[in-house]
Amino acid sequence: MHMSAQRELRLAKRMARLGTETAFEVLVKAKALEAKGRDIVHLEIGEPDFDTPRNIIDAACDALHKGFTHYGPSAGLPQLREAIAQYVSETRRVNVTPDEVVVVPGGKPIIFFSILALCEDGDEVIYPNPGFPIYESMIDYVGAKAVPIRLREEMDFRLDVDELAGLINDRTKLIIINSPQNPTGGMLEKIDIDRIAAAIGDRNVMVLSDEIYSRLIFEGEHHSIMSIDGMKERTILLDGFSKTYAMTGWRMGYGVMRADLAAHVARLMTNSSSCTASFSQISGVEALCGPQDSVEKMCAEFKKRRDVMVAGLNKIKGFSCRLPKGAFYVFPNITKTGWPSKKLADALLEDAGVAGLSGTAFGKFGEGYMRFSVANSIENIEKALERVDAWTKENL
């Protein structure tokens, strides 16, 4: 048969509204440069460079040998839902039951599923900007209206609650908050959380509280809106294993939410992944209930690296950087370089061999900033700083 020209790809219109996470694209670009023989310092991707702790790996191997190689319930294995319910009850000082827990492959599906389950045409969703790009992508994808709340450097990237209050209206269906925050490392204080809850008042508005970095805090304490009287029923807590236990490739996360919503999210799991990998889930029980010293060690190491990175950036022409309080990113202001963020990020990768992300990868209010991950060794961080410094001396 004669093969004609390739047929047109007839994509659904909604695909035009789906965004992406630039970190993965920059990683591909950096790898391509490496394949050509270039030496690149990787400060683009958001994952711990540590190995998963030994006890967790052993638990997974054991689970594989014991036959946890089959399908399990879509909402997660009962023993893990129980362990999560207990962990969240203790850390957020609320009473969580296992039927309010859904285990999913990573934290990301909780963003996907809660927005898919709750939001549609005519709904408004307020989300932090700069912020994790998947929020805006998913809001647009489902046809809801994305309403950014700008995070400001002069407020240490906490959100301005008065501004938030001004954005809430009768169409607001969901408010997304994230603390510690990606990409800024900013943290909401107790007073911020109290005031956010007060701004929501009695409204029937849900809050998606992305707390995936809650164990990576250098200064201050984690505060969850779920802990506030009257907010538990309206909160979807997102947390997981990726960042806390260096388990990004295991794909393990969870959401905690009212049981009737959890049933719908589990149905989305049935329709998509069926269930999270069973042996991963068994290792999740070990992660939560086993020794926690590796978490503390990792956090202390990130703090050291953060200090080196921030001090170094502040000595570089055109860069100024606040000290992030949590997560493992720094978000320097680069306006004084005179370069737009994307162009600067591209130049640093191509000319200096330092892979970082343009602030605009996190939304329009990221212009004027770059994000560097400190999930790399001090030696490599110092190398990156020297290269950026040399580049600015040559080009600015």
Residues that bind ligand PLP (CB under 6 A): 46, 106-108, 132, 178, 182, 210, 212, 240, 242, 248, 253
Nearer to ligand PLP, 46 or 98 (CB): 46
Cα gap 312→384, rounded to integer Å: 10
Nearer to ligand PLP, 24 or 120 (CB): 24
| Min dist. Cβ of residue 106 to ligand PLP (A) | 3
| Min dist. Cβ of residue 183 to ligand PLP (A) | 8
Cα gap 86→105, rounded to integer Å: 20
Nearer to ligand PLP, 281 or 392 (CB): 281
The SS3 call for residue 100 is helix
The SS3 call for residue 128 is strand
Q: Residue for token digits 């162009």?
A: 343
The SS3 call for residue 127 is strand
Nearer to ligand PLP, 182 or 337 (CB): 182
Nearer to ligand PLP, 98 or 107 (CB): 107
Q: Which tokens in the block code for residue 33?
A: 């440069």
Nearer to ligand PLP, 53 or 318 (CB): 53
Cα gap 226→207, rounded to integer Å: 9
| Min dist. Cβ of residue 55 to ligand PLP (A) | 20
3-class SS letters over 341-363: HHHHHHHHHHHHCEECEEHHHHC
- Ranked by CB distance to ligand PLP, the top (closest) residue is 106
Please say whether the beta carbons of 185 and 329 come within 8 A.
yes
| Min dist. Cβ of residue 383 to ligand PLP (A) | 24
Give 254's strand partners: 103, 239
| Min dist. Cβ of residue 330 to ligand PLP (A) | 14
Region of 353 (left: φ > 0; alpha: ψ -120 to 50; beta: rest) is: left
| Min dist. Cβ of residue 253 to ligand PLP (A) | 4
Query: φ and ψ at 389, to 5 degrees?
Result: -60, -45
Residue 14 amino acid letter: R
| Min dist. Cβ of residue 113 to ligand PLP (A) | 12
First to last CA, the chain: 61
Nearest CA to 143 out of 246, 12, 239, 263 is that of 12
Nearer to ligand PLP, 74 or 242 (CB): 242
| Min dist. Cβ of residue 239 to ligand PLP (A) | 9
Nearer to ligand PLP, 277 or 316 (CB): 277
Nearer to ligand PLP, 137 or 392 (CB): 137
| Min dist. Cβ of residue 278 to ligand PLP (A) | 18
Kindly state the helix (H) or strand (E) to which residue 235 belongs, with its residue range: strand 235-240
Contacts of 350 (CB under 8 A, 6+ apart): 33
